[in-house]
């Protein structure tokens, strides 16, 4: 399953004496499978020098490598590339997030919020799985989950205290 996104990739920065520019994909949740279309010349804002691409076919999984010719001395380069990026959905085999966090979070938040939190953790896990491998992704997943617990516990306790006070002192919002 894959879906095609249309994104304008922008690069802005000091080129120095760079001969190779790296333009990252706008979202790290995407994986470039092909780039079908781009502009072949770039304009620098400082002196209107046009830079031609030497090799327009270089791209990696995470971004687009542009090999620029005669880039020395050009500062504050602005680049815009129109590209059709096919963002692949992650593989589903062997990249299931660890179970257990769901139970903890469901205990501490409403269903809607717990679902959103678990979804967020899963989304991060999927990215990190692709970037770092399963072992590190699992460690990060649990670190993130455990770090999330204290604020949720405090919030749950706070709500409980407010509910108890309202009940015993007859305070009601109605």
Partner 1 sequence: MELTTLEQHLLLAIRGLHPNAYGVSIQEHIKDRTGREPSTGSVYASLDRLEEKGFVKSRQGEATAERGGKRKLYFTITAPGQRTLRESLAAIDALSQGLRWKGAAV
Residues near partner 1 (CB under 8 A) = 1, 29, 89-90, 92, 96-97, 108-109, 112-113, 115-124, 126-127, 144-145, 147-152, 154-155
Question: Which position has the token pair 């679902």?
Answer: 115
Closest CB 23 distance from partner 1, rounded Å: 17
Closest CB 18 distance from partner 1, rounded Å: 23
Q: Considering Cα of 133, then 126, then 2, then 37, what sign does the dihedral take?
A: negative
Nearer to partner 1, 78 or 89 (CB): 89
Nearer to partner 1, 17 or 147 (CB): 147
Closest CB 1 distance from partner 1, rounded Å: 7
Nearer to partner 1, 27 or 47 (CB): 27
Nearer to partner 1, 12 or 155 (CB): 155
Closest CB 10 distance from partner 1, rounded Å: 15
């Amino acid at each position: 399953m894959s879906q095609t996104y249309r994104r304008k990739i922008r690069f802005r920065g000091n080129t120095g004496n760079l001969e190779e520019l790296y333009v990252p994909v706008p979202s790290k949740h995407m994986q470039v499978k092909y780039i079908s279309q781009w502009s072949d010349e770039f304009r620098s804002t400082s002196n209107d020098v046009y830079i031609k691409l030497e090799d327009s076919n270089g791209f990696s999984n995470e971004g687009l490598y542009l090999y620029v010719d005669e880039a020395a001395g050009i500062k504050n380069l602005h680049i815009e590339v129109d590209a059709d990026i096919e963002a692949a959905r992650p593989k589903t085999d062997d990249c299931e997030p660890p179970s257990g966090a769901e139970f903890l979070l469901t205990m501490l938040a409403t269903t809607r919020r717990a679902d959103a939190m678990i979804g967020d953790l899963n989304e991060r896990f999927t990215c990190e799985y692709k970037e770092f491998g399963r072992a590190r992704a699992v460690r990060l997943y649990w670190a993130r989950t455990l770090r999330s617990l204290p604020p949720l516990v405090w919030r749950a306790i706070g709500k409980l205290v407010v509910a108890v006070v309202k009940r015993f002192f007859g305070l009601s919002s109605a």
